[in-house]
Amino acid sequence: MTTITEARVIVTAPGRNYVTLKITTSDGVVGWGDATLNGRELAVAAYLTEHVCPLLVGRDPARIEDTWQFLYKGAYWRRGPVTMTAIAAVDVALWDILGKVAGLPVYKLLGGAARDGVLVYCHATGEDVPALLDDVARHVDQGYLAVRAQAAVPGLAKTYGVPTPDGKLYEPASSALPEEHLWDTAPYLRSAPEMLGAVRERFGFGIHLLHDVHHRLTPIEAGRLGRDLEPHRLFWMEDPTPAEDQAAFRVIRQHTTTPLAVGEVFNSIWDCQQLITERLIDYIRTSVTHAGGITHLRRIFALADLYGVRTGSHGPGDLSPVSLAAALHVDLSVPNFGIQEFMGHREPASEVFRTGYTFENGYLHPGDEPGLGVEVDEEAAARFPYDPRQLPVNRRLDGSVHDW
Ligand code: GCO
Ligand code: MG
């Protein structure tokens, strides 16, 4: 019988930190999984190295569901981002191995392509509205059909989603302590509809327009914003309120028809059960890496399909190309796919991760290489040591801590 002979964690920072799991079988087949949890990378690395990798050696790599249940139920302590990211990395690496053994891309193992390509949305940002409009134009010229628009809030020194003029990431800080940003809801609620209206005025209704609120509003504020955005026909308004309060979405729903998307901070089906079954959202944004891998994500998406909720997986640059590839295989195969976030990866990420996915006319395709279609160059990875960084925190004008 083929068995797992080694499971090992690789931490590398080509452009930013990534945690990768490498699983090798007795037949010499290698599978890759992403275990990156932005800002808490080493917690997942230790969970895998100390508690999970020793359990994998000797197991049959083809028993993917059994391994998932073994790790989830066997830990007794359930859910949580660290546990579920670790299980996801194992799960994705096992799907990669299964595809390589079968000689098939993973999407064919999941039932085959249900569409020709995966519609993606990119990020456009600006220090002010004219700069944002230039950035939207740049992305439209590159062929994107869907654009997330974020602009700095007038009067605030830093706004989520807007990189500094030197092109640095908008998170995380490189110092030992997190950056502290100031937040003020009133100017945001005034400027966001104007900003998104300006995008519609310049580009019309021929592109899909998205916006991320990043969990900063109360339910009634979110209801007001959604209502103010209705004339601009958003594809979605993302994370309007802190996502852990599922019942809060009842209030938002009562006040607006702007479609709602939630889920990047969720890690299990239980986190979104009420949102889905009460039809409180339109898009579920859980990711392969933070929601238990391909096996668990498909379960979430199948539940969502029953209730008319479509998918919109989180795909930021802080998840590795292994994660994006896995997402694309799922996206291509599920019936209720909606859209996939595509932020891309900053160089020198391509020195470490060799990817097979391709972008054309607004759509990504995972490619037809057996498995996920991503390979990791371990020698290159060793050239980019771990670089500890912190996500920022937000404070209100009175100094109290707010959601970032
Ligand atoms: C998104 C997200 C990210 C997160 C980041 C945190 O919609 O892509 O909100 O920008 O902030 O993934 O690590
Ligand atoms: Mg988001």
CATH (domain of 93): 3.30.390.10
Indicate whether residue 315 lines ligand 1 (CB < 6 A). Answer: no
Q: Which of ligand 1's atoms lies nearest the C-alpha of 38?
A: 13
Q: Which of ligand 1's atoms lies nearest the C-alpha of 214?
A: 9
- Whether residue 95 sits in one domain with residue 164: no
- Whether residue 249 sits in one domain with residue 144: yes
Calpha distance 259→229 (Å, rounded): 10
- Whether residue 244 sits in one domain with residue 366: yes
Indicate whether residue 375 lines ligand 1 (CB < 6 A). Answer: no
Indicate whether residue 341 lines ligand 1 (CB < 6 A). Answer: yes
Digitized pLDDT (tens) for each residue of the chain, 404 residues in all: 999 999 999 999 999 999 999 999 999 999 999 999 999 999 999 999 999 999 999 999 999 999 999 999 999 999 999 999 999 999 999 999 999 999 999 999 999 999 999 999 999 999 999 999 999 999 999 999 999 999 999 999 888 888 766 656 666 777 788 999 999 999 999 999 999 999 999 999 999 999 999 999 999 999 999 999 999 999 999 999 999 999 999 999 999 999 999 999 999 999 999 999 999 999 999 999 999 999 999 999 999 999 999 999 999 999 999 999 999 999 999 999 999 999 999 999 999 999 999 999 999 999 999 999 999 999 999 999 999 999 999 999 999 999 99
Q: How far apart are the first and last CA of the chain?
A: 49
Indicate whether residue 318 lines ligand 1 (CB < 6 A). Answer: yes
- Whether residue 290 sits in one domain with residue 257: yes
Domain, as residue range, for 56: 4-104
Calpha distance 78→393 (Å, rounded): 27
Q: From the CA of 101, how far away is ligand 1's center (Å)? A: 34
Q: From the CA of 62, how far away is ligand 1's center (Å)? A: 33
Residue 145 falls inside a structural domain: yes
Residue where one domain finishes, among candidates 104, 138, 173:
104
Indicate whether residue 125 lines ligand 1 (CB < 6 A). Answer: no
- Whether residue 354 sits in one domain with residue 223: yes
- Whether residue 66 sits in one domain with residue 51: yes
Residue 170: predicted pLDDT:
61
Nearest CA to ligand 1 atom 6: 38
Nearest CA to ligand 1 atom 10: 316
Residue 307 falls inside a structural domain: yes
Nearest CA to ligand 1 atom 11: 214
Calpha distance 36→47 (Å, rounded): 12
Calpha distance 14→131 (Å, rounded): 28
Is 160 one of the annotated active-site residues of the chain? yes
Residues measured by CB to lie within 5 Å of ligand 2, the ion = 212
Phi and psi, residue 374, nearest 5°? -130, 135
Q: From the CA of 3, how far away is ligand 1's center (Å)? A: 37
- Whether residue 249 sits in one domain with residue 154: yes
- Whether residue 119 sits in one domain with residue 149: yes
- Whether residue 161 sits in one domain with residue 100: no
Q: From the CA of 155, how far away is ligand 2's center (Å)? A: 22
Domain of 309, CATH number, reads 3.20.20.120
- Whether residue 229 sits in one domain with residue 182: yes
Cβ proximity of 80 and 87 under 8 Å: no
- Whether residue 132 sits in one domain with residue 41: no
Which H, E and C letters describe the chain, residue by residue?
CCCEEEEEEEEECCCCCEEEEEEEECCCCEEEEECCCCCCHHHHHHHHHHHHHHHHCCCCCCCHHHHHHHHHHHCCCCCCHHHHHHHHHHHHHHHHHHHHHHCCEHHHHCCCCCCCCEEEEEEEEECCHHHHHHHHHHHHHCCCCEEEEEECCCCCCCCCCCCCCCCCCCCCECCCCCCEEEECHHHHHHHHHHHHHHHHHHHCCCCEEEEECCCCCCHHHHHHHHHHHHHHCCCEEECCCCCCCCCHHHHHHHHCCCCEEECCCCCCHHHHHHHHHCCCCCEECCCCCCCCHHHHHHHHHHHHHHCCCEECCCCCCCCCHHHHHHHHHHHHHCCCCCCEECCCCCCCHHHHEEECCEEECCEEECCCCCECCEEECHHHHHCCCCCCCECCEEEECCCCEECC
Identify which ligand lies nearest to the alpha carbon of 85.
1
Question: In angstroms, how far is CA 94 from the centroid of its own chain?
Answer: 20
Which residues, other chains included, contact 44 with Cβ-Cβ below 8 Å and sequence gap of 6+? 19, 35, 36, 37, 82, 85, 86, 89
241, 260, 264, 340: residue to mutate for ligand 1 pocket, most atoms within 8 A of CB: 264
What is the tally of structural domains in the chain?
Answer: 2
- Whether residue 256 sits in one domain with residue 114: yes
Indicate whether residue 331 lines ligand 1 (CB < 6 A). Answer: no
Q: Which of ligand 1's atoms lies nearest the C-alpha of 341?
A: 8
Q: Per the residue annotation, which of 47, 72, 160, 188 is the catalytic one?
A: 160
Q: From the CA of 286, how far away is ligand 1's center (Å)? A: 12
Residue 386 falls inside a structural domain: no
Q: Per the residue annotation, which of 214, 255, 307, 402 is the catalytic one?
A: 214
Q: Which of ligand 1's atoms lies nearest the C-alpha of 39?
A: 13
Indicate whether residue 316 lines ligand 1 (CB < 6 A). Answer: yes
